[in-house]
Each structure stands twice: as structure tokens, then as C-alpha cells.
């Protein structure tokens, strides 16, 4: 490939020289970013110095994070593309923030060894039933930011209580006496929790959906996540809580 007055390169060679792939070079031809060079008599492409320089310029801008469309606009005017640089910088800053937030969550999930389907700030110290996890997941879309904060605070600080397991494992055909008994043992604790977290009140018009539909959705979800006995207990607890003690 060495001639008297210089050198020329094959597609593979120029790709390797520039540190990109064969296909990338061809792709830059296809989109018109890099002109096709002359051919040898056998049809092989014959790249020269100008192609190498342009390819290196393209690669540099690609590595910085520019799209090929942006490169096509900026690579030719020698002036300093300040606006493009600032825009890209802002986009990168955004992306980095998103990824870092994700990493913070991943780190918390790994440290606490909890299931990955809930955000850590809504995950209690003690394990949850899958119904409870599903409910929390729905809550993240139903509640407004203020309610969610209160909800998270409650969940994270929730101490284990004997009635938790009892409720989670309640058979669908539990008798009325046992249901009433469980409700009466759950009520005082829930009363305390509500008093400790006043922002939890659903009537705060904080929600993104409006109170009406939020209530409706919540009711539907609860009805499908828990069995009849559990639903009955929840009803009894609500009745106990609505009566001033």
C-alpha cells in the first residue's frame, strides 16, 4: 500500500487508524458525513489523508456525545459551536443525574437486600406480603408528593407487630368472632399511626388524579389484593377508627 507519493488505506485500515469500526465508516458514507473516496481498478476504496482527518474529527465528536445529525451541522463550520456545546453539556448533566439516582437506589437495594420492585424509601425494615408490596406500588402513582413522603416515613419506621403476620395469613373463611377480635387488636395501633402521620389523610387534595378517582382506584385495588376475610377485617378496623374512642 506504499506508493511513491504517499499512502492510501483500505476501509479496514482507515477504520483501525481512526479507532472505529468498518461498519461505522460505511455508515458515515451512507448518511453523507464522510465522502466516498476514489476506487482502485479492482473497485476497492482508496482512502487518503483528508478522509482520515475527517473521520478522526467525526469520531472525536461522536465520543463527546454528539449525534451524527449534529455533527453534520457543526463539523464543517470552523467556528466554535458554543450553543451546541452548551446544549450537549446540559443533556449530559441530566443523564448523569438520572443514572446517579438509579445507582443510589440500586445501592440501597443491595445493602438492604430487599425486593427490587419497590423504591427503598417505601420499603419497611420487616418483610412485606406480596399484596402489601403491590399496594405500595399503586400508592406511588395515586398519592401526591406530600402524602407519599408521609407514607414513606410511616412505612420505614413501622415496627413489627404481631397482628401483621396474622392479617397477612388470614384464611378467607375465618369466622366472624376471630375477624372482630383481630380488628380490635389492630385498631389501636392504626389509630396511633394515623395520629403520628397526619399528612397521610387521603382527603388532602394533593394527588395527581383528584381525590375522587384516587379513592375509587384504591378501593378497587384493595378489593382485589386481599381476601374476603381480610377485607372484612379492614372494614371493621375502619369502623372502629371512625368512632372517637
Partner DNA sequence: TTGCTCCTCACGTCACGTGAGGTGGC
Task: Decide which of DNA, its own copies, none touches 23; Cβ closer than 5 to 8 Å per partner kind.
Answer: DNA
Task: Decide which of DNA, its own copies, none touches 140; Cβ closer than 5 to 8 Å per partner kind.
Answer: its own copies
- Shorter beta-carbon distance to its own copies: residue 115 or 175: 115
Instruction: Name the DSSP letter for residue 39.
Output: B
Query: Nearest distance from residue 207's CB to its own copies, in Å?
Result: 12
Specify the 3-state DSSP secondary structure of 146: helix
Q: Which residues bind DNA (CB under 7 A)?
A: 10-13, 20-24, 26-27, 41-45, 62, 67-69
* Phi, psi for 192 (deg, rounded to 5): -60, -45
194/192 Cα distance (integer angstroms): 5
Angle at 165 between CA 163 and CA 171, to 5 degrees: 100
Query: Nearest distance from residue 202's CB to DNA, in Å?
Result: 26
Specify the 3-state DSSP secondary structure of 108: helix
Specify the 3-state DSSP secondary structure of 177: helix
Helix axis angle, 145-157 to 130-142, nearest 10°: 150
225/242 Cα distance (integer angstroms): 23
Query: Nearest distance from residue 8's CB to its own copies, in Å?
Result: 9
Q: Which residues bind its own copies (CB under 8 A)?
A: 2, 5-7, 17-19, 48-50, 52-53, 56-57, 60-61, 63-65, 74-75, 78, 80-82, 85-86, 88-89, 92-93, 95-96, 99-100, 102-103, 105-107, 109-110, 113-119, 130, 134, 137-138, 140-141, 216-217, 220-221, 223-225
Amino acid at each position: 500500500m506504499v506508493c511513491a507519493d504517499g499512502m492510501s488505506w483500505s476501509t479496514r485500515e482507515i477504520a483501525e487508524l481512526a479507532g472505529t469500526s468498518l461498519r461505522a465508516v460505511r455508515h458515515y458514507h451512507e448518511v453523507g458525513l464522510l465522502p466516498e473516496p476514489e476506487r482502485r481498478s479492482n473497485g476497492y476504496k482508496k482512502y487518503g489523508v483528508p478522509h482520515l482527518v475527517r473521520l478522526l474529527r467525526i469520531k472525536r465528536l461522536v465520543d463527546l456525545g454528539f449525534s451524527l445529525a449534529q455533527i453534520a451541522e457543526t463539523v464543517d463550520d470552523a467556528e466554535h459551536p458554543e450553543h451546541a456545546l452548551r446544549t450537549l453539556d446540559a443533556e449530559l448533566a441530566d443523564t448523569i443525574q438520572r443514572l446517579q439516582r438509579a445507582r443510589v437506589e440500586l445501592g440501597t437495594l443491595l445493602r438492604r437486600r430487599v425486593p427490587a420492585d419497590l423504591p427503598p424509601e417505601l420499603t419497611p425494615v420487616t418483610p412485606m406480603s406480596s399484596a402489601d408490596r403491590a399496594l405500595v406500588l399503586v400508592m406511588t402513582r395515586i398519592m401526591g408528593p406530600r402524602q407519599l413522603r408521609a407514607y414513606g416515613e410511616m412505612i420505614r419506621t413501622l415496627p413489627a407487630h404481631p397482628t401483621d403476620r396474622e392479617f397477612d395469613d388470614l384464611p378467607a373463611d375465618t369466622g366472624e368472632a376471630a375477624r372482630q377480635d383481630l380488628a380490635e387488636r389492630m385498631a389501636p395501633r392504626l389509630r396511633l399511626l394515623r395520629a403520628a402521620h397526619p399528612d397521610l389523610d387521603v382527603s388532602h387534595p394533593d394527588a395527581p388524579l383528584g381525590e375522587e378517582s384516587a379513592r375509587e382506584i384504591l378501593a378497587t385495588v384493595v378489593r382485589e389484593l386481599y381476601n374476603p376475610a381480610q377485607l372484612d377485617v379492614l372494614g371493621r378496623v375502619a369502623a372502629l377508627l371512625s368512632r372517637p374512642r
